[in-house]
Amino acid sequence: MKLERGTISIHFVQHALQCVQARGMDVDGFLTRAGIPLNHLHEPLARVSPDQFGALWLDISYRLDDEFFGLDSHLMRPGSYALMCHSALGSANLAHALKRILHFLGIVLDDLRGELITQDGQAHIRVLPQAGPKPMFAYATYLMMVFSLSCWLIGRRIPVTAASFACPASDVIEPGGIDYAGEYRVLFCENLRFDQPCTVLSFPAAYLKLPVVQDSQSIKQFFKEMPAKLLVKYRNPKSWAARVRRQLRNTPPADWPDADQLCASLHVSEATLRRRLKEEGHTYQTLKDDVRRDLAIAALQDGRRSLADVAADLGFAEPSAFYRAFKKWTGGRPSDYRP
């Protein structure tokens, strides 16, 4: 499966570090060890690479002695996730694997219980808190652990039809009014709901019958990629925004199509595409900006090309124009993303 490229919002870094702060630990060292500039933490538009987020994840897990970031009253000791992965190998199909995964987490964690339910052609992973409500980050972390492993086991991205969370929408709105719900729509699906009776991730039940195709050899590569790719590898690929992003990423920025050319290639009218993208919270221009931003961050972090070359590669006539655009995209300077 081809890895999904992209960057990760500082929102996820902030919430991971809140778990560190809750233990009375200083966050600066965690940021430094992960290669994340300290000023990123206070810039709501900042982004980090999958490798940076993965390094932060592992560092927090190690220093808290907890792969669930202290979000449960029982520690998920380092090595637990690997054991859970191995426990799912050898399952006949996804249904069997999911039951093993949820059973394992039920043994390791005290405050969250997951169960698999099928109804009317849909499979539902339902997560029930056992000791009062949990924050969005706890539910999302639990579901991404389960979901990413499930996708890997069957060798494909499982299409999520709905994602409901037993927490208020305010959990994804940061001070200053910035709404990060779109980040979770990219992770799961467009049908995202808050303030629900319980947390549920739904997908077509037919996927439960698919066989597990991974083994003890392929799991080694999976461990190399996780957790760095946890939030990017199995992003929602079915949305119209994802389709547009894929086309842009496969084309040099200088050759990006105009709106009518794009619609012709997607076999959709301009009015329909505008409406679909608006429903998902995007426009064609914002998607072009997002892809340029991610390409720029990757090039800057690579460190081998000059600012002028990066600007030219992204279709900017002058480095100054690129500088202004980058400031608008991330709130920071290109130099902030240099290694």
pLDDT in tens, 35-59: 999 999 989 999 999 889 999 999 9
* Predicted confidence (pLDDT) at residue 85 exceeds the cutoff of 50: yes
- β-strand pairing of 8-9 with 199-204: unpaired
Residue at a domain's end among 192, 225, 258: 225
174 and 52 in one domain? yes
144 and 19 in one domain? yes
Per the domain annotation, does 112 fall within a domain? yes
**pLDDT tens column, 180-208:** 888 888 888 888 999 999 999 999 999 99
Per the domain annotation, does 271 fall within a domain? yes
208 and 174 in one domain? yes
Label residue 18 by pLDDT band (50, 70, 90).
very high
**pLDDT tens column, 263-319:** 999 999 999 999 988 877 788 998 999 999 999 998 998 888 899 999 999 999 899
Per the domain annotation, does 1 fall within a domain? no
326 and 283 in one domain? yes
219 and 70 in one domain? yes
- CA gap 331, 324 in Å, rounded: 10
Q: Which two tokens stand for residue 140?
A: 């999302």
- Domain residues for the domain of 320 are 240-337
264 and 121 in one domain? no
CATH of the domain at 280: 1.10.10.60
Look at the chain and report how many structural domains it folds into: 2
179 and 58 in one domain? yes
Phi, psi dihedrals of residue 12, rounded to the nearest 5°? -70, -35
Label residue 156 by pLDDT band (50, 70, 90).
confident
Report pLDDT for 185.
87
Name which residue leads in pLDDT, 321 or 133. Answer: 321
| CB-based contact 27:42 (threshold 8 Å) | no
- The mean per-residue pLDDT over the stretch 106-129 comes to 96
**pLDDT tens column, 223-261:** 887 887 766 666 666 678 888 988 998 899 989 999 999
Q: Which two tokens stand for residue 127?
A: 């997560």
DSSP structure string for 116-181: EEEETTEEEEEEEESSS---HHHHHHHHHHHHHHHHHHHTSPPPP-EEE-SS-GGGGEETTTEE-H
Residue at a domain's end among 225, 248, 270: 225
Residue at a domain's end among 196, 225, 254: 225
What is the residue-averaged pLDDT of the chain?
90
Name which residue leads in pLDDT, 100 or 216. Answer: 100
